Amino acid sequence: MGLDGPTGAQGQAFPDYRASTALLLFYWLTFRISYVVRKVRSSSDEHISTAAALLNTLLLLGTMKFQSVQPKLAFYALLIIGAIEFGFGQLPITRRRREPLVVLSVLGAALMITAVPFRYSGNNVAILWLTGAEALLIAGAIVGEVVFRRLGLLAGLLVGAHLVGIDFRQLMGARQTSEDLVLTAGMMFALCTVVFYLNTLFIAQHWRFFGNWPDAHLICVHSYVGGFAAASAAWALCSNDWTAVAFAGITLILAWFGQALKSSQFRQRHLQVQYGLIGALAVYRTIVVNLHNEISQYTHVRMRLITLPILAAMFYFTAKWAALNESNDQRTFRGLFAFAGTALVTALIYFEVPEFWQPLAAIAFAVILMEIGRLRYRALAWHAHVLSLLAVLAAVTTDPSSIQRWHAVPVHAFVALPVVAGAYWISKRSTTGAGGVALGRAVYSWAGTGLMAWVLYEAVSAPWIAVAWIGFAIALALVVRWISYSQLGWQANVIAACALVRTCTFNYGLQQTTWQGISLRLITVSVVAAGLYFLSRAATVRGSESARAITSLQNFSATALLALLAWYEVPGGWVAAVWAIFSLVLAIVDRRFELQDLGWQAHALAAITMLRSVTVNLHVTDTWHGFSVRLLSLAIVTVVFYTLSRLIRMPDVWRAREFHHVYSWAASALVSLLMWYELKPLTVAVGWAVFGLVLFEYGLLRNVRPFRLQSYVALSAAFGRIFSANLTAGIAGDLWGPRVYTVLPIALIFFFVYSQLEPGHKNVQDDLRLRFDVLLAYLGTGSVVALLYFQFANDWLVTAWAVVVLVLFALALGLGRSIFLHQALLLTVGVCTRGIMHNLFGASYFNDGNWTGRFLVLGSAIVILLACLPFAFRLREQSSASGRSKGWMKGAVLHPEQFMFFAPVLLLTLMLALKMRAGMVTVSWGLEGVLIVLLALAVNERSFRLTGLALLLLCVGKVLAMDAWGLAPRDRYLTLIILGAALLLVSFLYSKYRDAIRQFL
């Protein structure tokens, strides 16, 4: 044929070109007419004839391509040959046979359709292969010939191999040099894309035999070739930023076809893989090219602004059609596309939106995603979560140095406000019910609250941050009352805790002042404390288990803030007074509104007030306008404590046990200590006694037992105090000195209080049961006795005490109080002991060498004691009649006359033994014995008579044993005479009154 080499003409003319072309066309036409007019006898003959007809046209085209001299004429050749083939297919003779009709019609149409892309693809031979493959495939499908069908499928794979091995390599070479349009390759890949996906999505769907092996697998390979061709066509026909858009468009189209055409599940899965890979390629291309990372942030790039929204929209629509069902893996597959769209919009915000507008853009996009997710696609809600997090991060990281300001407020604080609003909006729009949704709603509300707290921290000046936080917490608490969302209550509590910590760590150190010199610390801390009190009632969910604990904690925190504020603001000496008043206010509020927490706080504050008073205020020496700060402050504290004992609210059981009087005890203790520090040493005991009297009178008037008990303690302390200060004051023997006028009133107070403890008084029965009347009586008498001891620090004390004994006997008889009888008896023992140990054998007499004492001093005491005998006899009668005495005192009380007889007799006998001369001792004892006998006869008392007789017998014994031998003659005679006379007198009296004495005995 005169062909030029094994590679064909390649556009070069060769000899006999036209003859060769005419000969080829003649052969083709001859075979075509033969095929049309032939009469077949069987279907197998028809198939063979059809195969020959197809090969006739395909070989013609291949040979003409091989020896082509003018490639531009290929377009016309394909159109003409295709039209002739299609025309043969429409002849009446052809229409009588189905296979020639179908084959020639399909082949003619394919040639005419292929003519245009063949022209613009550089006369690529693969198009001719593709045409033949499609003709075989369609013909085989229509006529049901498996050989034609599978030859067409295999021919299609050959085309795919040509695309991969030759055409794509050429495209890669072109793209390595520039991004210009590659039309020839693009047309070739585009045509292959359409053809192969036509085979997969339409032809394979209309004939069932494509669902069997190996046709099903071959048609799936065609789909992969189509996907490869589609991606290659996009790369060839688009450049720069639009390539990724083309990739995304192909992904979207394939996803729509996969959802719209009800092809087999097998082919749908493979189609998902294809557009999934192309989508990944689009994402990669977008990252590498469309983001323009080489350009600095916040610089507007026109193509980025155009392409990224388009790409994001395509990915979102692809996600809409990507899932074949609602299985987990399909949801994940769909979610990847949706995530790609969200990521692209996020990248657009990051690169294009100015720094201060990025938080707004991010949260707005998050809100949009959340709203769309609520309508249909739940996966977008997760994207909203990520966008919200990024919005928060953008808000807190924008302008970290606070360079941009508006009226001293950092601009980034305003930037964060839309994020706060968006977070709260998303939280509100979240549907409650599911656990995950509830958690998400809580997280968003917490994020909004936390970011708002940060905004306030950045925007508000440092001293007012805690105030701003507590105001924000109050606002949250009010919203809780409106929408009943408990998480806001918890957030309000957390913000309040932050305000508390901020106040403690910063505001207490403030030294600035505001209007009129008011401390900024005073204002800010007070506002925070007031806010905490409000939140204790408003920021808790009523009826919840934690409400009580939170309320208590906030109340205690507010109280602690104010108490500590007083410690900072008030001068040292007045802190206790302020704390006391504060505790009183708490108690009043608790009593009015029955807020148990405030009651406990009042107790705690009162306790530290007491501690402060004892450890600090008692030692304060400052003055205020000439008055002692210690006196004024502790006076306020005591008044408050006494008031608290009445107002403080306690359980009825506690109040019945008088626990509330802990405050009155504390107040009384403070008053006593205040007297110790404020009064002069001599007047302390008087003050305590007067204070005890006031307490007693109030307790008696109001029938308040603890006040009376406190009075007894105060009176006892006053009694103890006189021994350390009052009794030793002044000069001994002064008739009216400090000792007398300080101790005497105290004794009178003792007796006055005692006098009111009458057995018939119904309000003092407990006091009498506890024998406080006895205590007071002894305190009074003891005070007088002690005063006399220090006032008469000499021999006359025994006389003074004897007078007191006489007075006590008189009181016992006149008032009918046995306690005075007891005291008289005890003091009688004291008189006797004092007389013996001091007046008779005292050391003061050793100095002068005189052992005899003074007769007048001791004699007067003896006479006074003997003068008590009439009272003693009267009291003996009363005691015998009442029989009230018990125990060891019974004998003494029943026979007081014995005490009052033997005590002076003992003193007198010892005094005579020491006072008289040795020669006159027996005489004086004899006279004493006679007098005693006379007294015994007068009062009819046997013990007295026996005592007199015993004394006389003692005299007789002494005369016989000592005086008859040792005395001088004169003293001996005189002793015998007087003693004998005494014995005769006694004998006479016994003889005369024998019957009376016998009767008496």
Residues 209-225: tens digit of each pLDDT: 555 566 666 777 877 88
Of the pLDDT bands very low, low, confident and very high (cuts 50, 70, 90), residue 609 is very high
33: CB partners within 8 A, 6+ apart: none
Q: Closest Cα to residue 630, out of 613, 642, 647, 646?
A: 613
Q: Does residue 2 register a pLDDT over 60?
A: no
φ/ψ of residue 224, rounded to 5: -65, -40
- Burial track 115-148 (b if 16+ CB lie within 10 A, e otherwise): bebbbbbbbbbbbbbbbbbbbbbbbbbbbebeeb
| pLDDT tens track for 667-679 | 999 999 999 999 9
Residue 4: per-residue pLDDT = 46
The Cα–Cα gap between 868 and 805 comes to: 8
Within 13 Å and on the Cβ side, how many CA atoms surround 707? 17
Neighbours of 893 (CB within 10 A): 25
Of the pLDDT bands very low, low, confident and very high (cuts 50, 70, 90), residue 791 is confident
Residue 514 tokens read as: 């505001």
The Cα–Cα gap between 968 and 913 comes to: 18
Residue 943 tokens read as: 């013990």
Question: Do the Cβ atoms of 587 and 598 come closer than 8 Å?
Answer: yes
Q: Which of 609-613, 684-688, 857-861 has the lowest mean pLDDT?
A: 857-861
Neighbours of 937 (CB within 10 A): 19
Query: What are the beta bridge partners of residue 410?
Result: 405
The Cα–Cα gap between 88 and 36 comes to: 7
Residue 717: per-residue pLDDT = 96
Of the pLDDT bands very low, low, confident and very high (cuts 50, 70, 90), residue 69 is low
Q: Does residue 715 register a pLDDT over 80?
A: yes
Question: Do the Cβ atoms of 9 and 66 come closer than 8 Å?
Answer: yes
Domain parsing of the chain, residue ranges: 353-459, 463-569, 571-642+657-667, 679-793, 795-915, 916-1001
Q: Closest Cα to residue 944, out of 984, 991, 987, 895?
A: 895
- The DSSP result for 252-281, as a single string, is HHHHHHHHHS---HHHHHHHHHHHHHHHHH
Work out the percent of the chain whose per-residue pLDDT is above 90.
29
| pLDDT tens track for 356-413 | 888 999 999 999 888 887 766 777 878 888 889 999 999 998 888 888 888 888 988 8
Question: What is the distance, to the nearest Å, from the Cα of residue 672 to the centroid of all Cα atoms in its chain?
Answer: 43
Q: Does residue 528 register a pLDDT over 90?
A: yes
Rounded average pLDDT over 64-81: 60
Of the pLDDT bands very low, low, confident and very high (cuts 50, 70, 90), residue 252 is very high
Residue 864: per-residue pLDDT = 92
Single-letter amino acid code for the residue at 279 = G
- Burial track 629-641 (b if 16+ CB lie within 10 A, e otherwise): bbbbbbbbbbebb
The Cα–Cα gap between 280 and 269 comes to: 16
Polymer length in residues for the chain: 1001
For residue 623, give the 3-state DSSP assignment: strand
Q: Does residue 318 register a pLDDT over 50?
A: yes
Of the pLDDT bands very low, low, confident and very high (cuts 50, 70, 90), residue 725 is confident
**Peptide bond between residue 896 and the one before it cis (omega within 30 degrees of 0):** no
Rounded average pLDDT over 928-932: 77
Residue 561: per-residue pLDDT = 96
Rounded average pLDDT over 789-804: 85
| pLDDT tens track for 7-64 | 444 445 555 556 666 666 666 667 666 666 667 666 666 666 666 666 666 666 666 6
Q: Does residue 888 register a pLDDT over 70?
A: no
Question: Do the Cβ atoms of 787 and 740 come closer than 8 Å?
Answer: yes
- Burial track 793-825 (b if 16+ CB lie within 10 A, e otherwise): eebbbbbbbbbbbbbbbebbbeeebbbbbbbbb
The Cα–Cα gap between 576 and 580 comes to: 6
The Cα–Cα gap between 31 and 424 comes to: 82
Single-letter amino acid code for the residue at 437 = V
For residue 228, give the 3-state DSSP assignment: helix
Q: Does residue 507 register a pLDDT over 90?
A: yes
Residue 13: per-residue pLDDT = 53
Rounded average pLDDT over 827-845: 78
The Cα–Cα gap between 326 and 335 comes to: 12
Rounded average pLDDT over 591-620: 92
Residue 75 tokens read as: 């377009």
Neighbours of 678 (CB within 10 A): 16
Average pLDDT, the chain: 80
Query: What are the beta bridge partners of residue 624?
Result: 627
Within 13 Å and on the Cβ side, how many CA atoms surround 395? 31
Question: Do the Cβ atoms of 124 and 189 come closer than 8 Å?
Answer: no
| pLDDT tens track for 111-167 | 655 655 555 555 455 666 666 667 666 666 665 555 556 666 666 777 777 778 777
Q: Does residue 426 register a pLDDT over 80?
A: yes
Q: Does residue 999 register a pLDDT over 60?
A: no
Residue 54: per-residue pLDDT = 65
Q: Which residue has the tokens 């990944």?
A: 280
Q: Which residue has the tokens 């709260």?
A: 424
- The DSSP result for 574-603, as a single string, is GHHHHHHHHHHHHHHHHHHH--HHHHHHHH
Residue 942 tokens read as: 């046997």
Residue 649 tokens read as: 């609210």
Q: Running DSSP on this structure, what letter comes out for residue 403?
A: -
Rounded average pLDDT over 766-773: 82
The Cα–Cα gap between 402 and 485 comes to: 35
